[in-house]
Chain A
């Protein structure tokens, strides 16, 4: 008769060991249906190679680059203005924000003073774009944890916000709205009349998401404590945006002194406490509400503004004259600090166009949030971090 080992002693082998595996490696590549479903709205060219012990992730390699199209090279091979169609394709819902950052960098180098009306129009578009992308993030989280009601409520909000944005900028989601020196079109005459009902409809979509999603106990249990990022980790890994604010740090490009268009607008900066997936979700929910308030303040200012000049004279169609030197502009995009650093030698084409994409650093930081968690938590965490594949791969 052999003596039995007491239950719970350290010698109990893990499932991998008892099945004779040294290490289980699962590849959740770009073709994986679950990855596609969660990242569908943002490109789905990012894959994960996950090492497992039972269902715990012991190591994660984030694979990027499948969608690399030489963005910086393309832009450096064209004139300053011809870059714009490439720039707006760095994002889906956030295309307008990318344009605004690029134009801001060119304007800072060329010392172009933007007409006040164009500043407010850009800020209005930026906030609608942020709201649309935030709704899309919430929908992706809903999809990742299989809460179809929450997913559909958020998806409806995202689609509506995109329609309002399209109305405001007068063109489709890949906008072509901003250019160095101004914006392409003013608001349609009836926009101010439509806005109250549009805002109410967006707020009711958000309220619906809060009922079926944010306040839903099963969602809260599912996301609380999952994918935690400490403030120290967030800073060390260059994480910005809602993921950084969820750790309790009120850093936002819109609050910095150099940020044009936000100087005298009133808005709150929601922050989290624990830096987990639930805090990221709650920060984003509140930021949608703040963005709608900011959009309304922009409309009030546009209404009061006498001038109807929306572009610097002579730049409506032409190329800006860009002197030799360097310029930069970074904006608070929906998932963090999106910046452009441009260098010119005074010629027709940029010498260097560098895009600092928040998603690139979020993707790099992902293993910090994933290792130690269960494989089931991978997609909810990825969705709550909001990777936009076009700007990761460039």
Chain B
């Protein structure tokens, strides 16, 4: 199940912080460890095992990540060298009992972005996943009611994707030109 959780984005070095307990517990669960990019404890897990990994973070008594604070997508677009930075879903979790906060990153396939829904783990994910679907075109497998939420039902494309969704009306639009198509 958790056979290939890739290593965290950046191995942290803040020793003696209150996060040490979090780090130790996460390692004990078989994850590679908690990275500390810009002071944010973060963990990267493989896409195919994301649901099981998140379930363990929620149910482990030492972590008890009972609150899903936020769920969003980051589209890193293409960097200066033209290479794609990738598309990922970012879960922000909070353990009220332990006082921990952390983020979990799951890299998606840009051409076919799909990941398991966590609405069964945290009901709060329902609308958050609908928003991600609406604005980024990411599909959540097993979501009870995946449809647009902020945009009109007949809206096209995924406005927050840097290069649009392949095959959609926004695919050819200049991503930086937000005023394109608007009246004067």
Residues of A within 8 A of B (CB): 64-65, 68, 70, 72-74, 76-77, 108-109, 235-238, 249, 251, 256-257, 325-328, 330, 337, 339, 341, 343, 345, 351-352, 354, 356, 360-361, 363-365, 393-394
- The answer to whether B69 touches A356 (Cβ under 8 A) is yes
Q: Which residue of A lies closest to B123 (CB)?
A: A236
- The answer to whether A354 touches B150 (Cβ under 8 A) is no
B26 at the interface (CB under 8 A from A): no
Distance in angstroms from A269 CB to nearest chain B CB is 14
- The answer to whether B122 touches A238 (Cβ under 8 A) is yes
* Known A238-B122, A238-B124, A345-B76: A108·B90 in contact at CB below 8 Å: no
B30 at the interface (CB under 8 A from A): no
Distance in angstroms from A346 CB to nearest chain B CB is 9
- The answer to whether B123 touches A237 (Cβ under 8 A) is yes
A-chain residues with CB within 8 Å of residue B76 when the two chains form the complex: 343, 345, 351
Partner of B69, one of A238, A326, A327, A351: A238
Alpha-carbon separation in the docked complex, A352 to B72 (Å) = 10
B20 at the interface (CB under 8 A from A): no
A-contacting residues, B54-97, CB 8 Å:
66-70, 72, 74-77, 79-80, 85, 90, 92, 96
Q: Mark B84-117, 1 if CB is under 8 A from A, else 0.
A: 0100001010001001000000000000000000
Distance in angstroms from B36 CB to nearest chain A CB is 11
A-chain residues with CB within 8 Å of residue B67 when the two chains form the complex: 235, 238
Report whether over half of chain A's contact residues are helix, strand or loop; otherwise say mixed.
mixed
Interface size on B, residues (CB 8 A): 39
Quick one: which of A251, A326, A327, A328 has the most chain B CB within 10 A?
A326
Partner of A341, one of B18, B72, B123: B72
- The answer to whether B122 touches A360 (Cβ under 8 A) is no
- The answer to whether A70 touches B159 (Cβ under 8 A) is yes
B52 at the interface (CB under 8 A from A): no
Partner of A235, one of B39, B66, B79, B178: B66
- The answer to whether B150 touches A341 (Cβ under 8 A) is no
B-chain residues with CB within 8 Å of residue A352 when the two chains form the complex: 72, 74-75
Residues of B within 8 A of A (CB): 18, 37-40, 42, 66-70, 72, 74-77, 79-80, 85, 90, 92, 96, 99, 122-124, 126-128, 131, 135, 149-152, 159-160, 176, 178
A-chain residues with CB within 8 Å of residue B96 when the two chains form the complex: 235, 249, 251
- The answer to whether A325 touches B69 (Cβ under 8 A) is no
Q: Which residue of B lies closest to A330 (CB)?
A: B69
Distance in angstroms from A263 CB to nearest chain B CB is 15
A-chain residues with CB within 8 Å of residue B79 when the two chains form the complex: 345
Complex A-B, nearest 5 residue pairs according to Cβ-Cβ distance, in ascending order: A238-B124, A356-B70, A68-B150, A65-B150, A364-B127
Partner of B92, one of A236, A341, A363: A341
Distance in angstroms from A240 CB to nearest chain B CB is 8
- The answer to whether B149 touches A64 (Cβ under 8 A) is yes
19 A–B contacts from the bound complex (CB under 8 Å):
A68-B150, A68-B151, A73-B159, A108-B39, A109-B38, A235-B66, A236-B122, A237-B123, A237-B124, A238-B128, A345-B77, A351-B85, A354-B72, A356-B70, A356-B72, A356-B92, A361-B127, A363-B127, A393-B150
